[in-house]
Amino acid sequence: MACKVVYLACESLPQLPPPHKGFMKTLVLHILGRPPIPLEGEAKSWTLGRSSQNDVAIPDASLSRHHARISLKDGIPYLEDLGSLNGTSLNGERITAPHPLHDEDEILLGQVPIRLGSPSQGPRVRIGVESDASSSAGSIVLPLDRLRAIPNRRSETPETGQLREVIREIQGLSLELLEDSPPEQLLAHLLDRLWTLLKPWRAAVVIQDTKAGLHTVASRGPEGNQPILLSKSLVEAALERKESVLFNVLADNQGLASPSIMSSGITSAMVTPLEHNGVVKGLLYLDSHPPRPAFDEEDLRLASTLAHLATAKLEQARLREAELARRKLDHELDLARHIQQGLLPGFPPEIPGYQLLGNNLPSRQVSGDLFGWWPREDGHWLLALADVSGKGLGPGLLMASLSAFLEAWAERDLPTAELAFYLSKALARHTDGRRFVTAFLALLDPATGGVTYTNAGHNPGFLLAPDGSCLELESQGFPLALLPGQPYGSGTFTLPPGGTLALYTDGITEATDPLDVEYSTDRLKAFLALRVAKPLEAVDAELMADLEAHAQGTPFADDRTLLLLRRV
């Protein structure tokens, strides 16, 4: 039966006229160190900036929280600066009004370069028309079942036939490595192939597990045979010294053969480690018995080769499972981060006569810090900044509980000391006694500038006067949930015109440089004192830049959260 051959060809296609320079089907942002970011969906505009609330969040200190916007108008994209501190440039020119964008435009947001482009596409593929040159004459077509079948050669020598059989088994195992089969099944098939090739008397695969120790996953032997007993020296050779060992029982002078082997009639035995990249997963054992001759060096090489192939597959399967588990965890953490970011407030409210700013930069995907502001029916505003002990998902969940309590109780006419008391008792019911929350609660009367506050074991707040002098607002009680039922104190002050209340978490003051020197409370106080007249957005951006300069690339070990209130 003739077999036809069909060719896939990548042919030259007619050149299409280039599109108009302003025409782009899909906008794609290319940012150094990140994969291309397509601007898709039903939205007609996308914001860019440092805040995670943007459509494209770029965590760089040179950017403002809401830095720029790209909008579609009549199908043409426009770039617009949103009053950023460090400005927006297009092709080297700083822009102050919306400007149309074209393919390959160079954008600079603060100090972050961005290139605008389209998705790259490869050559098109066509099905070519069969010609005389595509005839199957002279071609060899082997279906997969024939590829795996034993070749039938009448004139081959015994040595040639054995070589072909070895190649066939190696080929079959190699093909199986491409399949997604369970590790135990793969090891059992490895033993089956060696059973066919080497015709041992007994064979076994033993896996080394950190929890269960050594355990057998597959074994072969004559019916009714006694258990295989391996000598300790033989196991140590494979597992500890990573040696493949072949020994003749009758000539054994190293004590590798156990008494049971000596009395069983076995003529030779070999063991090889299941090793990949220096890591030993277990061992493979085979022995011979008359009338089969003793194993030789070529038998050992073959067993070791197949064992190495199988171990590579085991390691591949382990890495694949670890990667799937990591992706699942990353997905869950990313979902938790989005939920948590939704708990933080958006743009600051308009409070006549006041400026307000809050910023949170988590050191991990999920933050244990919280800031927020809540209006009360009496016209006062409740401000809060808190830090849950520890890092990761657990503190993030406790932070979510605290946010829910504050949301529910903010409108009650509770003094800050009583609110701290009730929060401490409520949070204690959601912890195991090892978690606590430091918090700073402040109640602002916008009409007078009067502030009542309670510092529950948190860093001292800073009350900065217009001349830069600073009053530290110290703690008045234990952290929340640490000793529930303990009362809290409170303090009062009046925020003068031009005065600033600065609250922060220790992720800022304890940020370290490569020599493990902390940023420190004194440095933060001095930094803020020099900027009492600057806009709060500028203070925030310059502080994050100063932290980056201090860290010099050292990863931030804790979340950085800042809350600023200024009376104008």
User: φ, ψ for residue 260 (rounded to 5)?
Assistant: -65, -35
476-495: average pLDDT = 94
Per-residue pLDDT band at 20 (split at 50, 70, 90):
very low
- Low-confidence winner among 14-18, 293-297, 492-496 (lowest mean pLDDT): 14-18
Q: Which residues contact 7 (CB under 8 A, 6 or more apart)?
A: 128, 130, 134
CB 169 within 8 A of CB 197: yes
Residue with tokens 């002279």: 138
pLDDT at 144 over 70: no
Rounded distance, CA 290 to CA 217, Å? 26
pLDDT at 261 over 80: no
Pick 454 or 332 by higher pLDDT: 454
pLDDT tens-digit readout, 21-77: 444 457 888 887 677 788 876 668 899 998 888 889 998 888 988 899 999 888 888
Per-residue pLDDT band at 215 (split at 50, 70, 90):
confident
Strand-by-strand arrangement of the 99-100 sheet: 56-57, 45-49, 68-73, 76-81, 99-100
344-365: average pLDDT = 86
Contacts 24+ apart (CB under 8 A), 534-538: 535/355, 536/355, 536/356, 536/357, 536/564, 536/566, 537/64, 537/65, 537/85, 537/357, 538/85
pLDDT tens-digit readout, 104-134: 788 999 989 998 876 544 333 333 344 443 3
pLDDT tens-digit readout, 514-531: 999 999 999 999 999 999
pLDDT at 154 over 50: no
335-344: average pLDDT = 63
Pick 400 or 421 by higher pLDDT: 421
pTM for this prediction: 0.50
Q: Which residues contact 30 (CB under 8 A, 6 or more apart)?
A: 36, 37, 114, 115, 116, 117
Q: Cα(first)–Cα(last) distance of the chain, in Å?
A: 92
